[in-house]
Amino acid sequence: MARILAVDDSASMRQMVTFTLKGAGYQVTEAADGQEALTKAKSQQFDLIITDVNMPVMDGITFIKNLRGEANYKFTPMLMLTTESAGDKKAQGKAAGATGWIVKPFNPDQLLNTVKKVLG
């Protein structure tokens, strides 16, 4: 089954995302900030990245930008979790190489639907 990297500095969000995705049969790895996520992504191949934007140490957009530059992540879907309904964060994300976004708050079903769509 597909391997997903879930990045968020909020433990409760990570728990919820992991629980939801694992329940659907995906393998999930967690990270609490962009730097940790980058390290993990480099040491292990993931099929999908889901990351929050506002995080300490390294934020989501910088993380996506860095990871997109890695050869084996050129085409990997990367989704941002954002509460910003303002367009600029989404645009920044896209400019950094994000595939798309999921707007917070979301419920588990919405998450699963989006993941299914993206992973096929």
Residue 77 in contact with another protein, rule: CB under 8 A: yes
Residue 91 in contact with another protein, rule: CB under 8 A: yes
Per-residue contact track with another protein, 3 to 42, x per CB under 8 A? ------xxxxx-xx--xx--x-------------------
**Residue 23: enclosing H or E segment and its boundaries?**
helix 11-23
Comparing C-alpha atoms, which of 7, 115, 100, 14 is closest to residue 52? 7
Residue 98 in contact with another protein, rule: CB under 8 A: yes
Residue 105, preceding peptide bond in cis (omega within 30° of 0): yes
Interface of this chain with another protein, residues 48 to 67, rule: CB under 8 A:
52, 54-56
Alpha-carbon span 68 to 23, nearest angstrom: 28
Structure tokens at 54: 């506002």
Q: Are 35 and 41 in contact (CB under 8 A)?
A: no
Residues forming contacts to another protein in the complex (CB under 8 A) are 9-13, 15-16, 19-20, 23, 52, 54-56, 68, 74-78, 81, 83, 91, 94, 97-101, 104-109, 112, 117-118, 120
